[in-house]
Chains A and B, each alone.
Chain A
Amino acid sequence: MADAFDLIVIGSGPGGYVTAIRASQLGFKTAIVERAELGGICLNWGCIPTKALLKSGEMYEQLDHLKDYGLSVEKRGFDFDAVVKRSRKVASQLNQGVAFLMKKHKIEVVQGAARLEKGKDAPTVIVGDRKLTAKHVILATGARARTIPAIGLEPDGDRVWTYREALVPKAAPKSLVVIGSGAIGMEFASFYKALGSDVTVIEMMPRILPVEDEEVSKAAHKAFEKRGIKFRVPANVKKLTKGKSGVSLEIEAGGKAETLNADVAIVAVGIVGNVEDMGLEALGVKIEKTHVVTDAHGATGVPGLYAIGDVAGPPWLAHKASHEGVHCIEHIAGETPANLTAPIPGCTYTTPQIASVGLTEAQAKEQGLEPKVGRFPFRVNGKAIAAGETEGFVKTIFDGKTGALIGAHMIGHEVTEMIQGFALAMTLEATEAELHATVFPHPTMSEAMHEASLDAYGKVLHI
């Protein structure tokens, strides 16, 4: 029996389920297909459960500094199972939340893996023995960890992990090697270090967090080293070998061969799109480097078929997927969609946190702009001093010609909660004048954002 919808969304991650809600609001009869848990990786195996783990790690690490605040604790310790259980409970709560939202918006959830076949208005979606038809189909199938089996970078569920295994370990490994120093790799490094693992991070690029501004990368490198995380940068993994009690990595760092031994290795060397086993090739969907090629509105070129989020290419971020999804369905509905040129902030929830939006200083220079750069350290910010969180700084980058804010980079305590201020400013196309004119509340760490903006124009007050 054929089920007819206006829209079928494939994948219920933050791209898919948000798109489905917006579609329902716009009056589309909508179905959403999910092969695993509602909420996708983000809610169940990504953003959210890692934040739960990181909070536990951060709080535990804070205990080391209680004395600084005039406090003491008799006996410190942790129950690793309880830490992981809490993380799973948080994920489960949000998973239930998505189920509720689907019900509320009368979105039919179809459990199972989807296959596409040539259809009338849009490809027909086959899930199990159901044939679903719709006027529009949106692919929001997301992405997964890249693996390189040829050199042993492949999870085995025991000694070699991806983010997935790293979220539900039986115990904290005594020693850990993290391969890849992007946001995912660094967050696990930060968490396991907090709970006492001996952590070494290997990065192929010349610096860690290679997408961040160089100054931030360097500051992060120092801050992590101070916490005891070890680095091999730049270094290449030649071969990972699994043994009975651990892994052995042959690496080449600075032209020298080295062998690293550890209990566990986490593979965080990038992301590949989930484009397989859906019949996309047969439909003529264009795929490049594991990602579906689309136009600015998500159209794949196959009539009625769209793709948004991770499967449609980088940056692989939940908020980017949601934004693209809403844009895509609003465009289909003939609404004036939110623009897609808004800058997309990126956050890394390590200790210290890292947050950025827009261009790095180097990118600005590559684009031929004449950046005006401002900086302000938390070390002289009143609130940061009072809170004992003086690590890090704010860096702002303005276009020297127009005064437009073109980039902002932060490292420090809870900076991920502040970056939206700069994202908002950039989306509103603010110049230095508006940032200078904005009243920032005192005492807050956000004052450093104001000061960094002032500094770019030689007007910094508190240095």
Chain B
Amino acid sequence: MTDILMPALSPTMEEGILAKWFVKAGDTVKSGDVIAEIETDKATMEVEAVDEGVVSEILVPEGTEGVKVNTPIARLGGEGGASNGGAAETPPKAETPKTPPSASPPPPPEGEEKPAAPVASVSSAPSAEGGARRGAARDGGEQRIFASPLARRLAEQKGVDLTAVKGSGPHGRIIKADIEGAKPGEAKAAPAAAAPASASNAQAAPQRQAQTLEQMGIPAGSYELIPLDGMRKTVARRMTDSFRDVPHFPLTVDIELDELLSARSKINAMLEKQGVKVSVNDMVLKAAAVALMRVPEANASYTPEGIAMHKHADIAMAVAVPGGLITPIIRACETKGLAQIATEAKDLAERARNKKLKPEEFQGGTFSVSNLGMFGIKTFSSIINEPQGAILSVGAGEKRPVVRGDRIEIATVMSVTLTCDHRVVDGATGARWLAAFKPLLEDPITLIV
């Protein structure tokens, strides 16, 4: 007998939902067969069998939430497959998800890691969750970390995740020397400024939960409670962190779209044969990428070590999905043509809605675009998607009166708002970016060059 274990879809995943079984007891499986679907915060992944055999028992029924990594989820009997398939020879092992682990980003030891960390506003996914949440849980008493007071303080100052440190004191207690000896990676993982924030989150969260709706005057029974799923928790945490910790400010400009709309018709007529349709949003993505190349200061992330100037415009586009949102990324968007952007964006959005994105498709990114124009929203200002330096909020294109010389004319106008992280994008920088962005849309021929 071999136990099939709950796989870790990312290095820091701790638990997931066993969404679906593709096999049942008695089925014969061979290596490579898809046997189950596992769901985490935002990704759904298929699990392949590693060994051959007959499924003798399903241990965790489908739909089970909070299945811890490495819990046996099914049992495989040897008789159906491997010739010498004695149980003794086959050590229990975790099945591999279809996405090879190497494709996942390296595990950020702390949730707040900037440069390499997932970027999407909701994309922190399993990896970004790991550090901060784990620390919070343990501090909360789930599992006590034995560390000296000084070690705790130094870890906080240096941004070292105590859960990643091996203690050399009595009974494995973490002492000062262990933190001082913490590897640069562990130390660098969470920039000093970020660490205290995450520590305070740990305290802030339970405090907020401590006050029930009842205490706030809403009687029990007057509402239905929908349990928080991984995505909701991630959105809540990341948005709270960002809104509280990042100094935001918005800059709004109006953009006339008539030229762009007519150009778009021509382009789409051209592309009709290929079955590609370019949306206004695709053109916004492209224009944003080109503008970021022209004003590279806006394509940057704040870290305590310095400002990270990104070499490519990896544009994250916010996609509303059932239960939340996700921000898949168009990599090196500045290098791609409109047709390619349109194709990629459509594919990413579709797979996002179906929860089929791979972690690397929504983790990372240097700039975000959120578009609520289709809902008729005129202007809005998004919350910074850490660690990006700015996010563009796109409103509806609508006919508005515009003043030309001394006359009032009608034009199709769209308001866009750039929300900037003032630590890295100052007002003038943001304004310069908008000044570069606006003509790209108003005179779309410049987009081609």
Query: Using Cβ atoms and an 8 Å threshold, which residues of chain B touch A339?
Result: 169
Q: Contact at B149–A434, with CB atoms within 8 Å?
A: yes
Instruction: Report the separation of the CA atoms of residues A402 and B153 in the bound assembly, to the nearest whole angstrom.
Output: 7
A77-85, A144-152, A238-246, A425-433: which lies at the B interface?
A: A425-433
Query: Using Cβ atoms and an 8 Å threshold, which residues of chain A touch B438?
Result: none
Is A186 at the interface (CB under 8 A from chain B)?
no
**With A339-B169, A404-B176 in contact, do A429 and B148 touch (Cβ < 8 Å)?**
yes
Instruction: Report the separation of the CA atoms of residues A89 and B177 in the bound assembly, to the nearest whole angstrom.
Output: 46
Query: Using Cβ atoms and an 8 Å threshold, which residues of chain A touch B315?
Result: none
Query: Using Cβ atoms and an 8 Å threshold, which residues of chain B touch A341?
Result: 177
Most buried by B among A401, A404, A430: A404
Q: Contact at B153–A403, with CB atoms within 8 Å?
A: yes
Is B308 at the interface (CB under 8 A from chain A)?
no
Query: Using Cβ atoms and an 8 Å threshold, which residues of chain B touch A338?
Result: 170
Is B253 at the interface (CB under 8 A from chain A)?
no
Of residues 155 to 178 in B, which have CB atoms within 8 Å of A's CB atoms?
157, 169-170, 175-177
Of residues 375 to 421 in A, which have CB atoms within 8 Å of B's CB atoms?
401-404
Instruction: Report the separation of the CA atoms of residues A341 and B149 in the bound assembly, to the nearest whole angstrom.
Output: 17
CB closest residue in chain A, given B150 = A429
Q: Contact at A402–B169, with CB atoms within 8 Å?
A: no
CB closest residue in chain B, given A437 = B149
Query: Using Cβ atoms and an 8 Å threshold, which residues of chain A touch B157?
Result: 401-402
Contact of B149 among A336, A401, A433 (CB under 8 A): A433
Q: Contact at B169–A430, with CB atoms within 8 Å?
A: no
Instruction: Report the separation of the CA atoms of residues A430 and B176 in the bound assembly, to the nearest whole angstrom.
Output: 10
Contact of A404 among B150, B170, B177 (CB under 8 A): B150
Interface string of B58-82 (1 = CB under 8 A from A): 0000000000000000000000000
Contact of A402 among B154, B170, B175, B177 (CB under 8 A): B154
* Shortest Cβ gap from A335 to chain B (Å): 12
Contact of B148 among A401, A403, A428 (CB under 8 A): A428
Contact of A428 among B149, B153, B154, B177 (CB under 8 A): B149
* Shortest Cβ gap from A397 to chain B (Å): 14
Is B151 at the interface (CB under 8 A from chain A)?
yes
Query: Using Cβ atoms and an 8 Å threshold, which residues of chain A touch B148?
Result: 428-430
Residues of A in contact (CB 8 Å), total 14
Query: Using Cβ atoms and an 8 Å threshold, which residues of chain B touch A433?
Result: 149
Residues of B in contact (CB 8 Å), total 12
Of residues 420 to 451 in A, which have CB atoms within 8 Å of B's CB atoms?
428-431, 433-434
Instruction: Report the separation of the CA atoms of residues A339 and B173 in the bound assembly, to the nearest whole angstrom.
Output: 12
Instruction: Report the separation of the CA atoms of residues A429 and B154 in the bound assembly, to the nearest whole angstrom.
Output: 11
* Shortest Cβ gap from A164 to chain B (Å): 39
Instruction: Report the separation of the CA atoms of residues A404 and B177 in the bound assembly, to the nearest whole angstrom.
Output: 13
Instruction: Report the separation of the CA atoms of residues A428 and B148 in the bound assembly, to the nearest whole angstrom.
Output: 6
Query: Using Cβ atoms and an 8 Å threshold, which residues of chain A touch B176?
Result: 404, 429
CB closest residue in chain A, given B147 = A429
Query: Using Cβ atoms and an 8 Å threshold, which residues of chain B touch A431?
Result: 149-150, 153
* Shortest Cβ gap from B85 to chain A (Å): 43
Query: Using Cβ atoms and an 8 Å threshold, which residues of chain B touch A403?
Result: 150, 153
Most buried by A among B150, B151, B176: B150
Instruction: Report the separation of the CA atoms of residues A429 and B177 in the bound assembly, to the nearest whole angstrom.
Output: 10
Query: Using Cβ atoms and an 8 Å threshold, which residues of chain A touch B151?
Result: 429
Query: Using Cβ atoms and an 8 Å threshold, which residues of chain A touch B149?
Result: 428-431, 433-434
* Shortest Cβ gap from B200 to chain A (Å): 15
Instruction: Report the separation of the CA atoms of residues A29 and B151 in the bound assembly, to the nearest whole angstrom.
Output: 40
CB closest residue in chain B, given A434 = B149
CB closest residue in chain A, given B148 = A429
* Shortest Cβ gap from B153 to chain A (Å): 6
Interface string of B223-255 (1 = CB under 8 A from A): 000000000000000000000000000000000
Query: Using Cβ atoms and an 8 Å threshold, which residues of chain B touch A428?
Result: 148-149
Query: Using Cβ atoms and an 8 Å threshold, which residues of chain B touch A430?
Result: 148-150
Query: Using Cβ atoms and an 8 Å threshold, which residues of chain A touch B175?
Result: 429
Query: Using Cβ atoms and an 8 Å threshold, which residues of chain A touch B170?
Result: 336, 338
Of residues 380 to 435 in B, which have CB atoms within 8 Å of A's CB atoms?
none
CB closest residue in chain B, given A401 = B157
Instruction: Report the separation of the CA atoms of residues A430 and B152 in the bound assembly, to the nearest whole angstrom.
Output: 10
CB closest residue in chain B, given A435 = B149
Instruction: Report the separation of the CA atoms of residues A339 and B176 in the bound assembly, to the nearest whole angstrom.
Output: 13
* Shortest Cβ gap from B94 to chain A (Å): 33
Of residues 67 to 109 in A, which have CB atoms within 8 Å of B's CB atoms?
none
* Shortest Cβ gap from A63 to chain B (Å): 46
* Shortest Cβ gap from A371 to chain B (Å): 15
Instruction: Report the separation of the CA atoms of residues A404 and B151 in the bound assembly, to the nearest whole angstrom.
Output: 10
Instruction: Report the separation of the CA atoms of residues A341 and B175 in the bound assembly, to the nearest whole angstrom.
Output: 11
Instruction: Report the separation of the CA atoms of residues A430 and B177 in the bound assembly, to the nearest whole angstrom.
Output: 14
Instruction: Report the separation of the CA atoms of residues A402 and B155 in the bound assembly, to the nearest whole angstrom.
Output: 10
Instruction: Report the separation of the CA atoms of residues A401 and B180 in the bound assembly, to the nearest whole angstrom.
Output: 14
CB closest residue in chain B, given A430 = B149
Of residues 274 to 325 in A, which have CB atoms within 8 Å of B's CB atoms?
none
Instruction: Report the separation of the CA atoms of residues A431 and B152 in the bound assembly, to the nearest whole angstrom.
Output: 10
Instruction: Report the separation of the CA atoms of residues A43 and B157 in the bound assembly, to the nearest whole angstrom.
Output: 47
Which residues on A are within 8 Å of B, measured CB to CB?
A: 336, 338-339, 341, 401-404, 428-431, 433-434
Which residues on B are within 8 Å of A, measured CB to CB?
A: 148-151, 153-154, 157, 169-170, 175-177
Q: Report 27 cross-chain contacts, Cβ distance below 8 Å, ordered by A residue.
A: A336-B170, A338-B170, A339-B169, A341-B177, A401-B157, A402-B150, A402-B153, A402-B154, A402-B157, A403-B150, A403-B153, A404-B150, A404-B153, A404-B176, A428-B148, A428-B149, A429-B148, A429-B149, A429-B150, A429-B151, A429-B175, A429-B176, A431-B149, A431-B150, A431-B153, A433-B149, A434-B149
Given contacts A402-B150, A431-B153, 18 further A-B contacts (CB under 8 A): A336-B170, A341-B177, A401-B157, A402-B153, A402-B154, A403-B150, A403-B153, A404-B150, A404-B153, A404-B176, A428-B148, A429-B148, A429-B151, A429-B176, A430-B150, A431-B149, A431-B150, A433-B149
By Cβ-Cβ distance, the 9 closest A-B pairs, closest first, are A429-B148, A429-B150, A404-B150, A431-B149, A434-B149, A429-B176, A430-B149, A431-B150, A431-B153
